[in-house]
Every structure is written in structure tokens, then in C-alpha cells.
Chain A
Amino acid sequence: MPYDPQLVAPMREELTRLGVQELTTAAAVDEWIAENDSPGLLIINSVCGCAAGQARPAVALALQHAARPARVATVFAGQDVEATAQARSHFAEFPPSSPSMVMFKNGEIVHFLPRHRIESRSAQEIAQELTEAFQKHCVTA
């Protein structure tokens, strides 16, 4: 059963206020994945305080970096059920994990940050890993 939308709303806004695009349908996910002309970061958002509570601030920190993906999107696990399942179908070789983050480039997965590497770290540490991936795969703005 999906979470109460009122509970989830502030957790969505932590990302959307950064300009992160919400994908709430399977079709929207497929369209975003297909637009592979530039690197993209997909965030599997979650209500989990143990991990997502650091993941969202980490995204905010990382997106301040000069090198960053042109496209950043999110699906909300446990809320946008169809969109999340469709997103995961594009990287089925990785176990389902939320929160988690996947970076795509030229239609390939170039970086995967699973939940267990988020939950034990500070927002600064997670952001450091993200910015290193951005520097490797993105053009500086």
C-alpha cells in the first residue's frame, strides 16, 4: 500500500525544489531513459529516515558542483509504484534498493549507489561520491 501522500510530500519537495524532475508514470520513466543525449542521474527516493534522510541533502550538495548531469529525475519507492517498478526494470541486474541512485550515460549505467552505501554515511560523504561520478562523466557547466 502506498504511503500517505501528505507524509511523502515534503520528501518529494526536498528534491523538486532543486529542479529534479518527478517521474510518476511508467511512460514518463521510459521517456526520460530514452533521452540519452546527455548524462542523467535517477534518484530512487524513499521515506526511510535511516538512509533517505541523508540522501536528499547529499543530492542538494552534489548538484551545486560545476560538473553535474544535465538531467536529474526521481521516482518515489512505495509511492509511485508503477514508475518505480519501470525504473528498476531498466537496471534489473542490480537488486531493488531504496533510496538509491543510478547514473546513466549514452544509455549505459555508469554509476550505481545502493542503499547500504547511503545509510551509513553523512550527506557530505554521499555528495563526495556523487561529485566524483559527476566529474568523471559530466561536462563542467
Chain B
Amino acid sequence: MGTFHHDKGELHGITVVVVTDGPELFVGRCDTITAKQVVLLDVEAHVEGENASSRQEYLQRVSMVGQRGEIPRVVVPTERVRSLQRLAELEIP
């Protein structure tokens, strides 16, 4: 029992990691994925070179405890997405 949105795609509501073609990486709840963009909600961003932790350190932490939803909504253009996967399935080398 719960609130479902079956028209939103299989990753709707699922926490995902979006790696971009730049230094930014986003962790948030997937809202929609279209041919043009990925929309994430309750998002935490990691910017390689700007954050105190390295990308690997950040991913190790976020895979344990989840993200802080500091940014309500982020839209990532599809051409900037290098990878998108469920946080729960993230394998950190």
C-alpha cells in the first residue's frame, strides 16, 4: 500500500546516481527520464575538485547513508549524462 505513479517510468521515486560529462555528480530521487533530460528531486551534488572529499570518498559515504536532499530539483540534459544507476546497486572500486 502506498502512493504510486505508474505513468512515470520504472525508476520514478528510486534514488539514483547521475554522473555527468563534467565534474558534477548528482544523487537524488529520479522523477522522470525523457529523451531530453533527467529530472531528479531531493538532490545532493558532488563537484570533483570543489568538495572536500574525492568522488570515491563521497560515493562510499552516500552509498552507506543516502544523500542529503539539499537541492529540491535538478534537471540534467541527456547529452550531459554519462551514467545513471540505482544508488543501491552502486559498486565502488
A: residues with CB less than 8 A from B are 7, 10-11, 14, 46-53, 56, 94-97, 100, 112, 114-117, 119-121
Contacts and interface: CB of A to CB of B under 8 A. Distances in A.
Interface string B67-90: 111000000000000000011110
Contacts of A121: 88
The binding surface of chain B is classed by DSSP as loop
A-B pairs, 6 with minimum CB distance: A49-B2, A50-B13, A116-B15, A53-B2, A114-B66, A49-B4
Interface string B56-72: 00000000011111000
A50 B12 contact: yes
Given A49-B2, A53-B2, A116 B69 contact: no
A124 B82 CA distance: 33
A48 B13 contact: yes
Given A7-B3, A116-B66, 15 more contacts: A11-B2, A48-B3, A49-B1, A49-B13, A51-B13, A53-B1, A56-B1, A94-B66, A112-B65, A115-B66, A116-B14, A116-B86, A119-B88, A120-B14, A120-B88
27 contacts: A10-B1, A48-B2, A48-B3, A49-B1, A49-B2, A49-B4, A49-B5, A50-B2, A50-B4, A50-B13, A50-B14, A56-B1, A94-B65, A95-B66, A95-B68, A96-B68, A96-B69, A97-B66, A100-B66, A112-B65, A115-B15, A116-B87, A119-B13, A119-B88, A120-B14, A120-B89, A121-B88
Nearest to B11: A50
Contact of A11 (B1, B15, B44): B1
A94 B44 CA distance: 13
Most buried by A among B1, B67, B86, B87: B1
B57 to A, nearest CB: 16
Most buried by A among B15, B67, B89: B15
Contacts of A120: 14, 86, 88-89
Contacts of B4: 49-50, 53
Contacts of B68: 95-96
